[in-house]
Amino acid sequence: MRRDHSSNVRQFGIKLEQGAAAPQSMVHAWEKAMQQGNEAFAQNEDQRALQQYQTALKQAQSLLRECIQNNQSLMAIDTAFAAYVVSHHNLASVYARKGDLNTAALRLCEVHRCLSCICKDASLAAPLREAAQRHGRRTYSELLNFSHLYSQHPLVAKTLRHCGQFCMEQGRSLH
């Protein structure tokens, strides 16, 4: 019996729907958008980088949705989480370089909160929650780094207080 996880992940742009494309084509589309975004970022073309990274984030959200809905393999789940995390982090980097620290912080906090919610949702499969926990280590590290660089940004501090170290809870079984 398939459970409806839409209430848990909808707030993060991951809308669960029927009929999504195959994960491999989604990964390819994500990689293409990321490559174009990285090229633009390297050339200091921030607006183009933002557009490409936003496209990549949409692809990553679709990929993650596909994995959640169709109980994909661990490799597919890790790929989806990696794409989702990297998309948010690259967007945050562009916003930070442009001086928009609030939006950069929002990107970092959103991805960390999403992984925290997935990790804590006992109705989701254990491998999915464990992957969220693993990738949460990266988002936690990025939040700490951002907090250090930008003097305890209030949104980052709030996120760290509410769901900061969920990814470090090694002893807790997610089964």
Residue 59 sits in a domain whose CATH number is 1.25.40
pLDDT at 72: 63
Exposure string over 79-88, b if 16+ CB within 10 A, otherwise e: bbbbbbbbbb
Secondary structure class of 151 (helix, strand, coil): coil
Where do we find the tokens 């989701």?
124
Q: What is the DSSP letter of 156?
A: H
pLDDT at residue number 111: 95
- Across 5-29, average pLDDT: 53
* pLDDT (tens digit per residue) in 134-163: 999 999 999 999 998 988 788 998 888 887
Please state the pTM of the whole predicted model.
Answer: 0.82
Instruction: Please check whether residue 1 lies inside any domain of the structure.
Output: no
Q: Is the pLDDT of residue 170 over 80?
A: no
Q: Quick one: pLDDT at residue 16?
A: 35
Number of domains in the chain: 1
The pLDDT assigned to 151 comes to 81
In a domain, 46, yes or no: yes
In a domain, 174, yes or no: no
Between residues 12 and 122, the one the model is more confident about: 122
Over residues 44-77, the pLDDT tens digits come to: 999 999 999 999 999 999 988 888 877 667 678 8
Range of the domain at 71: 8-168
Residue 43 confidence (pLDDT): 98
pLDDT tens for each residue of 86-129: 999 999 999 999 999 999 999 999 999 999 999 888 888 888 88
Specify if 122 maps to a domain. Answer: yes
Residue 14 and residue 6 in contact, taking contact as beta carbons nearer than 8 Å = no
Determine the distance from the C-alpha atom of residue 78 to the mean position of all C-alpha atoms in its chain, rounded to a whole number: 11
DSSP secondary structure string for all residues of 126-148: HHHHHHHHHHHHHHHHHHHHHHH
Residue 112 belongs to a domain: yes
Tell me, what's the pLDDT at 119?
87
Is residue 173 assigned to a domain?
A: no
Phi, psi of 96 (to 5 degrees): -65, -45
Percent of the chain with pLDDT over 70: 78
Q: pLDDT value at position 84?
A: 96
- Decide if 56 is inside a domain: yes
Asked if the model's pLDDT at residue 17 lies above 80, the reply is no
Residue 146 lies in a domain: yes
